[in-house]
Amino acid sequence: MNELKIYKSEIEELGFTTIENIYSTEEVQKIIETINQVDTSKDTFRKSNDLFAIRQFLKKVPETQKLIFNEKLQKVISELFGKNYFVIKSIYFDKPETSNWYVSYHQDLTISVDKKIELDNFKFWTTKQNQFAVQPPIEILENIYTIRIHLDDTDENNGALKVIEKSHLKKIYRPENIDWKTEKETTCNVNKGGIMIMKPLTLHSSSRTTNNKKRRVIHIELSDTNLPNGLNWSEKLN
Protein backbone atom coordinates (compact mmCIF):
# COMPACT_ATOMS: atom_id res chain seq x y z
CA MET A 1 0.00 0.00 0.00
CA ASN A 2 2.81 2.44 0.84
CA GLU A 3 4.41 1.70 -2.55
CA LEU A 4 1.16 2.57 -4.30
CA LYS A 5 1.07 5.90 -2.44
CA ILE A 6 4.58 6.62 -3.72
CA TYR A 7 3.56 5.80 -7.30
CA LYS A 8 0.48 8.01 -7.01
CA SER A 9 2.59 10.88 -5.68
CA GLU A 10 5.07 10.49 -8.56
CA ILE A 11 2.28 10.64 -11.14
CA GLU A 12 0.75 13.77 -9.63
CA GLU A 13 4.08 15.54 -9.05
CA LEU A 14 6.22 14.35 -11.99
CA GLY A 15 3.57 13.30 -14.51
CA PHE A 16 4.64 9.63 -14.70
CA THR A 17 5.82 6.56 -12.82
CA THR A 18 6.94 2.99 -13.59
CA ILE A 19 5.81 -0.16 -11.78
CA GLU A 20 7.52 -3.50 -12.32
CA ASN A 21 6.17 -7.08 -12.13
CA ILE A 22 2.51 -6.46 -12.91
CA TYR A 23 2.60 -9.51 -15.18
CA SER A 24 4.51 -12.77 -14.87
CA THR A 25 6.55 -14.16 -17.76
CA GLU A 26 3.75 -16.66 -18.36
CA GLU A 27 1.08 -13.95 -18.44
CA VAL A 28 3.09 -11.88 -20.92
CA GLN A 29 3.54 -14.92 -23.15
CA LYS A 30 -0.22 -15.63 -23.12
CA ILE A 31 -0.95 -12.03 -24.16
CA ILE A 32 1.61 -12.24 -27.00
CA GLU A 33 0.25 -15.60 -28.20
CA THR A 34 -3.29 -14.20 -28.25
CA ILE A 35 -2.18 -11.18 -30.31
CA ASN A 36 -0.25 -13.39 -32.73
CA GLN A 37 -3.44 -15.31 -33.57
CA VAL A 38 -5.31 -12.20 -34.73
CA ASP A 39 -6.41 -11.59 -38.33
CA THR A 40 -4.25 -8.59 -39.31
CA SER A 41 -6.18 -7.63 -42.45
CA LYS A 42 -8.65 -5.29 -40.70
CA ASP A 43 -8.61 -1.56 -41.46
CA THR A 44 -7.75 -0.66 -37.86
CA PHE A 45 -4.43 -2.47 -38.25
CA ARG A 46 -1.37 -0.68 -39.54
CA LYS A 47 1.63 -2.61 -40.78
CA SER A 48 4.95 -1.34 -42.15
CA ASN A 49 8.65 -2.09 -41.82
CA ASP A 50 8.84 0.30 -38.88
CA LEU A 51 5.62 -0.41 -37.02
CA PHE A 52 2.75 -2.81 -36.53
CA ALA A 53 -0.20 -1.25 -34.70
CA ILE A 54 -3.73 -2.28 -33.74
CA ARG A 55 -6.10 0.59 -32.99
CA GLN A 56 -9.13 -0.03 -30.74
CA PHE A 57 -7.06 -2.92 -29.48
CA LEU A 58 -9.28 -4.14 -26.63
CA LYS A 59 -12.33 -4.14 -28.91
CA LYS A 60 -10.56 -5.75 -31.86
CA VAL A 61 -8.81 -8.38 -29.71
CA PRO A 62 -11.29 -8.89 -26.84
CA GLU A 63 -9.65 -12.17 -25.88
CA THR A 64 -6.86 -10.13 -24.27
CA GLN A 65 -9.12 -8.23 -21.86
CA LYS A 66 -9.12 -10.78 -19.04
CA LEU A 67 -5.39 -11.36 -19.48
CA ILE A 68 -4.58 -7.64 -19.30
CA PHE A 69 -6.87 -6.68 -16.43
CA ASN A 70 -5.41 -9.14 -13.96
CA GLU A 71 -5.72 -8.68 -10.20
CA LYS A 72 -2.54 -6.59 -9.94
CA LEU A 73 -3.52 -4.11 -12.65
CA GLN A 74 -7.05 -3.76 -11.28
CA LYS A 75 -5.60 -2.91 -7.87
CA VAL A 76 -3.26 -0.31 -9.40
CA ILE A 77 -6.17 1.35 -11.23
CA SER A 78 -8.50 1.44 -8.24
CA GLU A 79 -5.85 2.60 -5.76
CA LEU A 80 -4.06 5.15 -7.96
CA PHE A 81 -6.92 6.51 -10.08
CA GLY A 82 -10.20 5.61 -8.38
CA LYS A 83 -12.90 2.97 -8.66
CA ASN A 84 -14.91 4.78 -11.36
CA TYR A 85 -12.28 4.81 -14.10
CA PHE A 86 -12.99 3.11 -17.43
CA VAL A 87 -11.09 2.53 -20.68
CA ILE A 88 -11.49 5.25 -23.33
CA LYS A 89 -8.77 4.22 -25.81
CA SER A 90 -6.41 1.31 -26.50
CA ILE A 91 -3.62 0.71 -29.03
CA TYR A 92 -1.08 -2.08 -29.49
CA PHE A 93 2.34 -1.03 -30.81
CA ASP A 94 4.95 -3.44 -32.10
CA LYS A 95 8.21 -1.67 -32.86
CA PRO A 96 10.36 -4.20 -34.81
CA GLU A 97 14.03 -4.88 -34.14
CA THR A 98 15.23 -2.77 -37.08
CA SER A 99 12.77 0.09 -36.70
CA ASN A 100 13.89 3.60 -37.60
CA TRP A 101 10.58 5.01 -36.37
CA TYR A 102 10.84 7.73 -33.76
CA VAL A 103 8.45 10.24 -32.21
CA SER A 104 9.51 13.76 -31.29
CA TYR A 105 8.39 15.48 -28.09
CA HIS A 106 4.63 16.04 -27.85
CA GLN A 107 1.64 15.93 -25.52
CA ASP A 108 -1.38 13.68 -26.18
CA LEU A 109 -3.99 16.38 -26.75
CA THR A 110 -6.79 14.52 -28.56
CA ILE A 111 -9.42 12.00 -27.55
CA SER A 112 -11.32 9.44 -29.65
CA VAL A 113 -15.08 9.99 -29.86
CA ASP A 114 -18.05 8.42 -31.63
CA LYS A 115 -19.21 11.39 -33.74
CA LYS A 116 -18.55 15.02 -34.61
CA ILE A 117 -20.62 17.56 -32.71
CA GLU A 118 -19.92 21.29 -32.63
CA LEU A 119 -19.28 22.03 -28.96
CA ASP A 120 -17.62 24.94 -27.19
CA ASN A 121 -13.92 24.31 -26.49
CA PHE A 122 -13.84 21.09 -28.54
CA LYS A 123 -11.54 21.87 -31.47
CA PHE A 124 -9.16 20.58 -34.15
CA TRP A 125 -11.44 17.77 -35.32
CA THR A 126 -9.90 15.01 -37.45
CA THR A 127 -11.19 11.80 -38.99
CA LYS A 128 -9.02 8.74 -39.67
CA GLN A 129 -10.36 5.32 -40.71
CA ASN A 130 -13.87 6.45 -39.72
CA GLN A 131 -12.63 7.42 -36.27
CA PHE A 132 -13.24 10.91 -34.92
CA ALA A 133 -10.64 12.68 -32.79
CA VAL A 134 -10.84 16.08 -31.14
CA GLN A 135 -8.95 18.24 -28.66
CA PRO A 136 -11.25 18.63 -25.65
CA PRO A 137 -11.17 21.22 -22.85
CA ILE A 138 -8.03 20.97 -20.73
CA GLU A 139 -10.01 19.71 -17.71
CA ILE A 140 -10.88 16.51 -19.57
CA LEU A 141 -7.25 15.89 -20.54
CA GLU A 142 -6.10 16.49 -16.96
CA ASN A 143 -8.43 13.73 -15.79
CA ILE A 144 -6.98 11.01 -18.08
CA TYR A 145 -4.33 8.44 -17.15
CA THR A 146 -2.33 6.42 -19.68
CA ILE A 147 -1.03 2.94 -18.87
CA ARG A 148 1.69 1.46 -21.09
CA ILE A 149 2.07 -2.30 -20.64
CA HIS A 150 5.49 -3.55 -21.71
CA LEU A 151 5.71 -6.98 -23.34
CA ASP A 152 9.50 -6.65 -23.84
CA ASP A 153 12.40 -5.23 -21.85
CA THR A 154 12.55 -1.60 -22.97
CA ASP A 155 15.29 1.00 -22.56
CA GLU A 156 16.69 3.99 -24.44
CA ASN A 157 18.08 1.64 -27.14
CA ASN A 158 14.72 0.26 -28.31
CA GLY A 159 12.28 3.09 -27.89
CA ALA A 160 11.61 3.60 -24.19
CA LEU A 161 9.72 6.83 -23.65
CA LYS A 162 11.65 9.92 -22.67
CA VAL A 163 9.64 12.44 -20.66
CA ILE A 164 9.99 15.97 -19.35
CA GLU A 165 9.33 15.86 -15.62
CA LYS A 166 6.47 18.06 -14.34
CA SER A 167 5.56 19.23 -17.85
CA HIS A 168 1.96 18.07 -17.28
CA LEU A 169 1.56 20.94 -14.81
CA LYS A 170 2.08 23.54 -17.53
CA LYS A 171 -1.21 22.92 -19.38
CA ILE A 172 -0.56 23.13 -23.15
CA TYR A 173 3.23 23.14 -23.46
CA ARG A 174 4.57 23.40 -27.00
CA PRO A 175 7.73 21.37 -27.72
CA GLU A 176 9.38 24.35 -29.41
CA ASN A 177 9.13 26.19 -26.09
CA ILE A 178 11.00 23.60 -24.02
CA ASP A 179 13.68 25.35 -21.98
CA TRP A 180 16.41 22.70 -21.80
CA LYS A 181 18.33 24.79 -19.26
CA THR A 182 15.64 24.26 -16.65
CA GLU A 183 13.75 21.11 -17.70
CA LYS A 184 14.69 17.59 -16.61
CA GLU A 185 14.50 14.77 -19.15
CA THR A 186 14.07 11.19 -17.90
CA THR A 187 14.14 7.90 -19.82
CA CYS A 188 11.50 5.45 -18.57
CA ASN A 189 13.15 2.04 -18.76
CA VAL A 190 10.64 -0.75 -18.08
CA ASN A 191 11.24 -4.48 -17.86
CA LYS A 192 8.99 -7.04 -19.53
CA GLY A 193 5.80 -7.39 -17.51
CA GLY A 194 6.08 -3.90 -16.03
CA ILE A 195 4.04 -0.81 -16.76
CA MET A 196 4.55 2.91 -17.18
CA ILE A 197 1.76 5.27 -16.10
CA MET A 198 1.66 8.78 -17.52
CA LYS A 199 -0.54 11.86 -17.64
CA PRO A 200 -1.25 12.67 -21.32
CA LEU A 201 -0.12 16.28 -20.85
CA THR A 202 3.36 15.05 -19.94
CA LEU A 203 5.73 15.87 -22.81
CA HIS A 204 7.13 12.59 -24.14
CA SER A 205 9.15 11.23 -27.06
CA SER A 206 10.53 7.92 -28.36
CA SER A 207 13.84 7.22 -30.10
CA ARG A 208 14.80 4.89 -32.93
CA THR A 209 15.75 1.30 -32.19
CA THR A 210 19.51 0.72 -32.12
CA ASN A 211 19.95 -2.61 -30.29
CA ASN A 212 17.98 -4.97 -32.58
CA LYS A 213 15.41 -5.74 -29.87
CA LYS A 214 11.64 -5.62 -30.22
CA ARG A 215 9.47 -3.19 -28.28
CA ARG A 216 5.86 -4.31 -27.91
CA VAL A 217 3.59 -2.08 -25.84
CA ILE A 218 -0.14 -1.98 -25.09
CA HIS A 219 -1.26 1.63 -24.63
CA ILE A 220 -4.49 2.11 -22.61
CA GLU A 221 -6.12 5.41 -21.63
CA LEU A 222 -8.65 5.71 -18.80
CA SER A 223 -11.02 8.40 -17.53
CA ASP A 224 -13.93 8.68 -15.10
CA THR A 225 -15.60 11.56 -16.99
CA ASN A 226 -18.61 11.35 -19.29
CA LEU A 227 -18.55 13.69 -22.29
CA PRO A 228 -21.18 16.43 -22.73
CA ASN A 229 -24.23 16.86 -24.97
CA GLY A 230 -24.49 13.39 -26.47
CA LEU A 231 -20.81 13.03 -27.32
CA ASN A 232 -19.38 9.64 -26.31
CA TRP A 233 -15.99 8.00 -26.00
CA SER A 234 -15.57 5.77 -29.06
CA GLU A 235 -13.95 2.90 -27.13
CA LYS A 236 -15.57 3.04 -23.69
CA LEU A 237 -15.07 -0.21 -21.77
CA ASN A 238 -15.76 -0.73 -18.07
Look at residue 91 and tell me if it is in a domain: yes
pLDDT for residue 80: 96
For residue 82, what are the CA distances in angstroms to 8, 73, 144? 11, 13, 12
pLDDT for residue 227: 97
pLDDT for residue 130: 75
SS (H, E, C) 132-199: EEEECCHHHHHCCEEEEEECCCECCCECCEEEECCHHHHCCCCHHHCCCCCCCEEECCECCCCEEEEC
Look at residue 11 and tell me if it is in a domain: yes
Range of the domain at 54: 2-223
pLDDT for residue 38: 85
pLDDT for residue 51: 64
More confidently predicted of 48 and 151: 151
- Confidence class for position 129, pLDDT limits 50, 70, 90: confident
Look at residue 208 and tell me if it is in a domain: yes
Give the residue-averaged pLDDT of 165-183: 95
Look at residue 237 and tell me if it is in a domain: no
- pLDDT surpassing 70 at residue 50: no
**Number of domains the chain is built from:** 1
Q: Is 218 within 8 Å of 58 (Cβ atoms)? A: no
Look at residue 232 and tell me if it is in a domain: no
Query: Distance between CA atoms of 199 and 210, rounded to whole angstroms?
Result: 27
Whole-structure pTM value: 0.94
Spatial CA neighbour of 124 closest among 178, 172, 59? 172
Look at residue 183 and tell me if it is in a domain: yes
More confidently predicted of 131 and 99: 131
pLDDT for residue 118: 93
- Confidence class for position 58, pLDDT limits 50, 70, 90: very high
pLDDT for residue 209: 86
Give the residue-averaged pLDDT of 165-186: 95
pLDDT for residue 1: 52
pLDDT for residue 57: 94
- State pLDDT tens for residues 9-48: 999 999 999 999 999 999 999 999 999 988 777 766 777 6
CATH code of the domain in which 140 resides: 2.60.120.620
